[in-house]
Amino acid sequence: MTNAELYGTRLDEHWRGQSSVSSLLVKGRSNNDITVARVIAGPGFGFVEHVPPEEGYAFSLELIDYQKGELWLGGRHTPQTNLLRNHSVFFDLRNGVDAKLEDPFDFVHFHIPRRYFADLAAAGGMSAADELRVESGHGFFDPVLMHLGLAMLPALDRPAEVNQLFLDHTMIALCSHIAGTYGVAIEPRAIAKGLAGWRLRRAKDLIASRLNGDISIAEIAAECGLTPSYFARQFAEATGTTPHRWLLKMRVEQAKQLMAEGRLSLADVAMACGFADQSHFTRVFSRETGATPRAWRDQLRR
């Protein structure tokens, strides 16, 4: 097992069980997966397990102010500054990282292999960014990183309800912003603006065929002959919503059809339409229609 796999997929063990860790794995190409986690601990955590040098980055969004602690990068003591609420901080893991944490902490943490950036760049016909122009250990405010990081909190709270399209869309947006702002932009070379009719139909058909959410943006984009980042933007422009939100809308439409037929219980409808459970079904249906499934069905029967 590589260092990246050890750190990226075993965060609970890395944090020695002294903190609360909830995590999600976002599948990349050739095992270049991203791990997203929320890590929370009280004061006096002490020394964190050493992170050996690896080809990757750690990026955190601070959810509370953090001040007192020590950091060593490549064995050198490194000051930390501006680790404030809603600020971002990067760590270049090629140096190896050691830390001693004294204050309580709460952050959303992303472990991103360098190859993930390279894969996104290659898909867009660009050269990969050699470096990110960030200083390890120093916090800074970036509103885009803040909003994308905060968007992961509900997913980390209810991982059973998360589908691959949402994770793909968020990670493509996050990594494209990072590369474009702090490295080399990941964009397609030259593709006519807008989705052709056949591409839009193919994308919708693919989503409809996999209402359980077991499909990635990369898979749909490949079927349409587009890069993942370009496809996601143009799908949103064509439909007014993201692939993830379109999936939820299609689940709701199928649920309406099944409830109108009247043969299944609400719990069975939820399972048939790809929802994690009836509670998940009720939240999404109510948000999309303004009524609970039971109220909608009862109104239909009157």
DSSP letters, 173-189, are: HHHHHHHHHHS-----S
**CATH class name, domain 245-301:** mainly alpha
The pLDDT-based confidence of 149 (bands split at 50, 70, 90) is: very high
pLDDT at 190: 39
Mean pLDDT for 232-237 is: 86
Mean pLDDT for 280-302 is: 90
Please tell me the least confidently modeled range out of 75-79, 103-107, 226-230, 287-291. Answer: 226-230
pLDDT tens digits along 116-148: 888 877 766 665 665 788 888 899 999 999 999
Its pTM stands at: 0.76
> Which of the listed CATH numbers 3.40.50.2300, 3.40.50.10860, 2.102.10.10, 2.60.120.10 matches domain 3-182?
2.60.120.10
How many angstroms from the chain centroid is the CA of residue 251? 21
3-state secondary structure 71-132: EEECCEEECCECCCCCCEEEEEHHHCEEEEECCCEEEEEEEEEHHHHHHHHHHCCCCCCCCC
Report which of residues 73 and 31 the model is more confident about: 73
CA angle 146/89/137 to nearest 5° reads 165
CB of 203 closer than 8 Å to CB of 231: yes
* Residue with token string 């689940």: 251
Q: Where are the domains of the chain?
A: 3-182, 197-239, 245-301
DSSP state of 49: P
pLDDT at 2: 46
